[in-house]
């Protein structure tokens, strides 16, 4: 029997990149899915992919920065499936609109990263915690970043938000442990997703290396930073999220787990 059979999972930011990968792996392992994103059309496409794996899925539009939206997401998820077992807080941004065209972060970029990458986790967790506490079970997986492990020069706003996401995960792990709810965090390294395409565009502008393609900028970064020499994939993150959502990890909570090919070790 697949290890997540009959579990119901909610994934935020699941219309693209890593969130999509997590949704598909959880579905392969047996879970039914609430595919949530601020971009409903993208969420609907991924929900269709989940259904074609033979699992139930609904797409629900939600903006994680807006408490009324995350509250409505929790109500709709429970109404649709009767319960929720797994929450993956994946939605994340690199700044305010057009951030990749700026060589240094604006005050709006600082605000936007904090709003989505930190307050987004808080809003969604608070929206679901009553339901999970009542059932005295649940798994929460937050997606932080290798960038949250140490400060970065030109991307300090993003690193700081991800460091906060790691810390917030520990706080919720302590608060929710008495209810048998495990909260863990994944720190991915380098994944070629629409987010990294924008980072590459920004790095190209910043360095003046306009003869390189975005993908070449990414590969250069990979070669400089990653001992294993391989990029990580959304499926890698999905497999770790599935483990953290399964019975096999029942005594793991409050941890932030690196998935980075060795670029940072602790």
Ligand X SMILES: NC(=O)c1ccc[n+]([C@@H]2O[C@H](COP(=O)([O-])OP(=O)(O)OC[C@H]3O[C@@H](n4cnc5c(N)ncnc54)[C@H](O)[C@@H]3O)[C@@H](O)[C@H]2O)c1
Cα separation, 100 vs 2, in Å, equals: 41
Q: Does 93 bind ligand X (CB under 6 A)?
A: yes
Q: Does 47 bind ligand X (CB under 6 A)?
A: no
Task: Count Cβ atoms below 10 Å from residue 101 Cβ, excluding itself.
Answer: 11
- In contact, 227 and 262? CB cutoff 8 Å: yes
Q: Does 185 bind ligand X (CB under 6 A)?
A: no
Stretch near ligand X under the rule CB under 6 A, chosen from 11-19, 26-34, 76-84, 101-109: 11-19
Structure token pair of residue 124: 């969604």
Cα separation, 183 vs 174, in Å, equals: 9
Nearer to ligand X, 33 or 195 (CB): 195
Binding mask 197-226 for ligand X (x = CB under 6 A): ------------------------------
Catalytic residue among 81, 99, 155, 158: 158
DSSP-derived secondary structure letter, 171: H
**Is 158 a known active-site residue?**
yes
Tell me the Ramachandran region of residue 168: left when phi exceeds 0, alpha when psi lies from -120 to 50, beta otherwise. Answer: alpha
Stretch near ligand X under the rule CB under 6 A, chosen from 25-33, 87-95, 126-134, 238-246: 87-95
Stretch near ligand X under the rule CB under 6 A, chosen from 38-46, 133-141, 177-185, 204-212: 38-46
Stretch near ligand X under the rule CB under 6 A, chosen from 15-23, 170-178, 206-214, 238-246: 15-23
Nearer to ligand X, 72 or 179 (CB): 72
Cα separation, 73 vs 52, in Å, equals: 23
Q: Does 191 bind ligand X (CB under 6 A)?
A: yes
Q: Tokens 């770790």 identify what position? A: 240
Nearer to ligand X, 28 or 63 (CB): 63
For the chain, the farthest-separated pair of C-alpha atoms sits apart, in whole angstroms, at 57
CB of 29 to ligand X, least distance (A): 19
For the segment 123-152, give every residue that binds ligand X (CB under 6 A): 143, 145
Nearer to ligand X, 3 or 225 (CB): 225
What lies within 8 Å, CB to CB, of 97 at 6+ separation is none
Q: What is the 3-state secondary structure (H, E, C) of 140-160?
A: EEEECCHHHHCCCCCCHHHHH
Q: What angle do CA 150, 124, 185 make, to 5 degrees?
A: 35
Structure token pair of residue 67: 């408490």
Binding mask 154-183 for ligand X (x = CB under 6 A): ------------------------------
Residues that bind ligand X (CB under 6 A): 12-13, 15-19, 37-39, 42, 62-65, 90-93, 116, 120, 143, 145, 188, 190-191, 193-196
Residues noted as catalytic: 158
């Amino acid at each position: 029997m697949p290890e997540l059979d009959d579990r119901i999972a909610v994934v935020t930011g699941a219309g693209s990149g890593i969130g999509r990968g997590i949704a598909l792996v959880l579905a392969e392992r047996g879970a039914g899915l609430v595919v949530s994103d601020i971009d409903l059309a993208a969420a609907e496409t991924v929900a269709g992919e989940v259904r074609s794996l033979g699992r139930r899925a609904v797409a629900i539009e939600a903006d994680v920065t807006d408490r009324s939206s995350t509250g409505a997401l929790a109500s709709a998820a429970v109404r649709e499936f009767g319960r929720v077992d797994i929450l993956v807080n994946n939605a994340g941004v690199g700044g305010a609109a057009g951030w990749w065209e700026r060589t240094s972060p604006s005050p709006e970029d600082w605000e936007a990263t904090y709003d989505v990458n930190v307050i987004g986790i808080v809003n969604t967790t608070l929206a679901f915690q009553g339901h999970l506490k009542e059932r005295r079970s649940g798994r929460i997986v937050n997606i932080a970043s290798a960038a949250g492990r140490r400060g970065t020069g030109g991307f300090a706003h993003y690193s700081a938000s991800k460091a906060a996401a790691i810390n917030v995960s520990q706080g919720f792990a302590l608060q929710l442990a008495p209810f048998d709810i495990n909260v863990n965090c994944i720190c991915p390294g380098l994944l070629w997703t629409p987010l990294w395409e924008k980072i590459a565009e920004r790095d190209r502008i910043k360095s003046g290396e306009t003869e390189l393609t975005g993908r070449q900028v990414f590969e250069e970064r990979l070669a400089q930073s990653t001992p294993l020499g391989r990029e990580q994939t959304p499926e890698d993150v999905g497999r770790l999220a599935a483990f953290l959502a399964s019975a096999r990890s029942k005594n793991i909570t409050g941890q932030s787990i690196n998935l980075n090919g060795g670029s940072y070790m602790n």
